[in-house]
């Protein structure tokens, strides 16, 4: 059973579909944690639990991959509709001219009267003028369709870029509260143990009042970079609100163990130098923090986060 479970998890890790890089890194972090747990020679009754945990991680990852792959499909559908409409318009007009030419050809082959020939020559001249006009219309329509396709593609790229920026905090580059609530709510529905670490950075509001918000933003950025270096690849860090950042820690351990790990991670002294007009100020960077276990009600957990951060 141990060998089968290890083969299962290794195969899932190796053959995972390439989706969003951060989602793939998170999934592989989960599978490696399972492999590490299997390598500790767990009792036989725990092997199935470890394998089930890996399968659940794969299920969540597949959902995210499906959303990731669906975006270009929607854009491709819009492009196909645009091209189909243009080609349909061109084709219908061309068929009309072809039928007129075939009709004139049949009349020419079946007529021997000079007066009929003169009439048919006039009709043929009008039909050819129509063909030339249609060719010009097709050229103009093709150019318009190409320009529209370029514009649609450009707008889609700009929209994706704007959406990506809108989902990240300008000061820290971290995903914002809306994304944090989605990930925490999803984690509350999973069986895998996880914890939420709430960190409120000290003196940010005072620094903003004294020197300007740009200095407070730098303080937030430095702290976020420092915390990100202390976390595992499977963990996630978010900008919650104000001077508060939130980490979603996925660990198969106890609440006390997580508190000890966070205490050790935040122990190193961190400082930032602020250059004002008249002097240079060395500011220590610190934060008050707490660790909250996941709850059955994400709303209650969000309320506890806001309460600790001082928003309620």
Q: What residue ranges of the chain are covered by domains with CATH 3.30.70.270? A: 177-309
What are the tens digits of pLDDT across the range 229-255? 988 888 999 999 889 999 999 888 899
| DSSP state for residue 176 in the 8-state scheme | -
Backbone angles phi, psi at 246, to 5 degrees: -130, 135
* CA-based torsion, 6, 9, 15, 18: positive or negative: negative
Is pTM beyond 0.75? Reply is: no
What are the tens digits of pLDDT across the range 128-154? 666 667 767 777 877 887 787 777 767
| CA dist list (Å): 81 to 76, 148, 152, 266 | 9, 12, 12, 54
Pick the CATH number of 177-309 from 3.30.70.270, 2.60.34.10, 3.40.50.720, 3.20.20.80: 3.30.70.270
Q: Rounded to whole angstroms, how far apart are CA atoms 244 and 306?
A: 9
What are the tens digits of pLDDT across the range 45-70? 676 776 777 777 777 767 766 666 66
DSSP-assigned states of every residue in 103-159: HHHHHHHH---HHHHHHHHHHHHHHHHHHHHHHHHHHHHHHHHHHHHHHHHHHHHHH
Residue 269 confidence class, pLDDT cut points 50, 70, 90: confident
What are the tens digits of pLDDT across the range 5-26? 777 777 777 777 777 777 778 7
SS3 294: coil
């Amino acid at each position: 059973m141990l060998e089968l479970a290890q083969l299962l998890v290794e195969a899932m890790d190796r053959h995972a579909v390439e989706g969003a890089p951060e989602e793939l890194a998170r999934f592989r972090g989960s599978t490696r944690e399972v492999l590490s747990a299997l390598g500790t020679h767990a009792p036989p009754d725990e092997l199935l639990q470890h394998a089930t945990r890996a399968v659940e991680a794969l299920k969540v990852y597949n959902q995210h991959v499906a959303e990731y792959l669906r975006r270009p499909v929607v854009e491709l559908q819009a492009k196909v509709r645009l091209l189909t409409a243009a080609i349909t318009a061109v084709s219908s007009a061309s068929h009309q001219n072809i039928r007129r030419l075939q009709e004139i050809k049949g009349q020419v082959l079946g007529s021997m009267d000079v007066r009929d020939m003169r009439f048919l020559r006039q009709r043929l001249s009008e039909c050819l003028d129509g063909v030339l006009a249609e060719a010009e219309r097709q050229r103009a329509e093709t150019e318009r369709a190409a320009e529209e396709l370029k514009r649609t593609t450009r707008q889609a790229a700009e929209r994706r870029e704007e959406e990506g920026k809108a989902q990240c905090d300008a000061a820290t580059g971290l995903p914002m509260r809306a994304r944090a609530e989605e990930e925490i709510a999803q984690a509350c529905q999973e069986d895998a143990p996880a914890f939420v670490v709430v960190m409120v950075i000290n003196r940010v509001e005072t620094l903003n009042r004294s020197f300007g918000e740009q200095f407070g933003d730098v303080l937030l950025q430095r702290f976020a970079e420092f915390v990100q270096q202390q976390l595992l690849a499977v963990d996630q860090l978010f900008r919650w609100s104000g001077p508060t950042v939130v980490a979603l820690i996925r660990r198969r351990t106890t609440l006390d163990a997580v508190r000890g790990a966070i205490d050790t991670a935040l122990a190193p002294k961190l400082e930032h130098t602020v250059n004002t007009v008249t002097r240079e100020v060395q500011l220590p960077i610190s934060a008050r923090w707490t660790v909250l276990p996941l709850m059955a009600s994400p709303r209650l957990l969000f309320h506890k986060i806001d309460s600790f951060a001082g928003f309620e």
